[in-house]
Amino acid sequence: MIMAEPVSSSQPQVSAPVDEDELVRDARQGNLTAYDELVKRYQERIYATLYHMTSNHEDANDLAQESFIKAFQALKSFKGGSSFYTWLYRIAVNKTINFLKQRKNRTHISLNNIDFNAEHDPDLIALISEQTPRRAAGLTELQEKLNEALMKLSESHRLVVVMHDVQGLSHEEIAEAMDCNVGTVRSRLFYARQQLQGFLADYLKPT
């Protein structure tokens, strides 16, 4: 894993453009400061998707960095038919699916910590068993089981669940990112939820 190195101060600073098209245009001409701004805009969303897909912080970090690097390399081929974010998302998702196929049966889970807000999330509080003496322990156990269940899904099904139920993307946005139609997204989502419900039956309260 390659961690951060400070950006050289010799890089000419441009007046921070807000417009994404302008940033993309500048980055396409090799302006790394403009590209740095684009990375900052989307790093959290891209990382989160890759993390939820891999259930591994180190893998997600490597994949996210490589996705941004690859996007920079391929900027000349970006025609602007979709938003930069959708295009970038597609690169990251394809890279991750390739990675997961290559490392099949070598799943190594390395989970991030749960933030403090989780303990106050009403959805989660409702789910934690009343018999659990310590709430934090209940959340950790749930987190492990949830990630294990997600890793049992196929890559395409996991991706749909992550994008829709975790990240809140619409069916249309998912279809565009995955280069498939909305009907496929809906059916994959339904199937994936059914599977997850089966895997996590012990942790779900009947509705």
Partner 1 sequence: MNENENNFESLRRLLALKRHETPPPGYFANFSAAVTARIRAGDARRTASVPDRLADELPWLFRLMSAFEAKPAFAGAFASALCLLLLVGIVYAERPSDIEPQPILQATLDTSPLAVATPVNLSSQPAEQTVFLSSTNPVFNSQPAGAWFASQGPTVQPVNFMLPGN
Residues that bind partner 1 (CB under 8 A): 2-8, 32, 35-36, 39-40, 43-44, 47, 51-52, 57, 61, 64-66, 68-70, 72-74, 77, 94-95, 97-98, 101, 111-115, 117-118, 121, 123-124, 126-127, 139, 142-143, 146, 161-162, 165-166, 186, 190, 193, 196-197, 200, 203-207
Give the span between the Cα atoms of 34 and 22, in whole angstroms: 9
Closest CA to 92 of 56, 67, 65: 67
Q: Shortest gap between Cβ of 185 and partner 1 (angstroms)?
A: 13
Q: Shortest gap between Cβ of 86 and partner 1 (angstroms)?
A: 16
46 neighbors 88 (Cβ within 8 angstroms):
yes
Cβ proximity to partner 1: between 22 and 74 the closer is 74
Q: Shortest gap between Cβ of 104 and partner 1 (angstroms)?
A: 9
Cβ proximity to partner 1: between 13 and 77 the closer is 77
Give the span between the Cα atoms of 156 and 185, in whole angstroms: 9
Give the span between the Cα atoms of 32 and 169, in whole angstroms: 29
Give the span between the Cα atoms of 50 and 97, in whole angstroms: 10
Cβ proximity to partner 1: between 117 and 131 the closer is 117
Q: Shortest gap between Cβ of 178 and partner 1 (angstroms)?
A: 12
Q: Shortest gap between Cβ of 170 and partner 1 (angstroms)?
A: 14
Burial class (CB in 10 A: 0-12, 13-18, 19+), 174: buried
